[in-house]
Amino acid sequence: MKLVLASQSPRRRELLALAGYDFQVASASVEELAPGSLPMPELCMTNALLKAEEVALRFPLACVIGADTLVKGGDKTLGKPRDLDDARDMLHFLSGQVQTVCTGVAVLSGGAETVFHELTRVQFKKLTSEMIESYMRLVNVLDKAGAYAIQEHGEMLVESVEGDRDNVIGLPVKRLAQVLASSMK
């Protein structure tokens, strides 16, 4: 059965390829629900399912994977920043905090649907404005939930990770592999 990733995220493509999967990429053009419209796990799973369903219409015989990642610090749920000022504000907000990264995943295969989410806790260092500016010069922060990428100079920001590091990158590969093993039979 053909495997299709309903995402243009280079990070998700890399994680899936590193796990040894042969797959095709097809971007979903859907209107995602905005952060704060639902509790974070439900929101991530809903957006992942919207993406997977849209792509599954084009690939009805494939196993389709949709995913969505958000970051929650305190009482704020953060998606991708609107611009560099928003990214800077997000990083200042996350400074010194423990945050929760949630990735919702939807797998559609042969009429069956499996939707789940993974949570990972990330402790940020206390960041100065200079540290944030240095990080933003090195990393394109605009296409990343919470305005950071743990795999791209994450050591500048992150003190510790509790849980699946791949989940913070954008795809909980270990859990996904278990779902795919039963979905692609």
Q: How much is the mean pLDDT over the chain? A: 95
**Is 185's pLDDT higher than 70?**
no
Structure confidence by residue, pLDDT tens digits, 6-27: 998 999 999 999 999 999 999 9
Residue 158: beta bridge partners?
A: 124
Q: Which positions are annotated as active-site residues?
A: 68
Q: Residue 99 half-sphere exposure, CB side, CA atoms within 13 Å?
A: 33
pLDDT reported for residue 33: 87
Structure confidence by residue, pLDDT tens digits, 115-129: 999 999 999 999 999
Over residues 28-44, the mean pLDDT reads: 91
pLDDT reported for residue 75: 87
Structure confidence by residue, pLDDT tens digits, 68-95: 999 999 889 999 999 999 999 999 999 9
Domain count, the chain: 1
Range scoring the smallest mean pLDDT among 49-53, 141-145, 172-176: 141-145
Question: How far, in Å, CA of 171 to CA of 184, rounded?
Answer: 18
Over residues 61-73, the mean pLDDT reads: 96
- CATH number for 104: 3.90.950.10
Over residues 162-184, the mean pLDDT reads: 93
Domain that holds residue 93: 3-183
pLDDT reported for residue 182: 86
On whether the CB atoms of residues 144 and 68 are closer than 8 A, the answer is: no
For the chain, what is the HEC assignment?
A: CCEEECCCCHHHHHHHHHCCCCCEECCCCCCCCCCCCCCHHHHHHHHHHHHHHHHHHHCCCCEEEEEEEEEEECCEEECCCCCHHHHHHHHHHHCCCEEEEEEEEEEEECCEEEEEEEEEEEEECCCCHHHHHHHHHHCCHHHCHHHCCCCCCHHHCEEEEECCHHHHHCCCHHHHHHHHHHHCC
pLDDT reported for residue 144: 92
Burial 166-183 (b: 16+ CB within 10 A, else e): bbbbbbbbebbeebbeeb
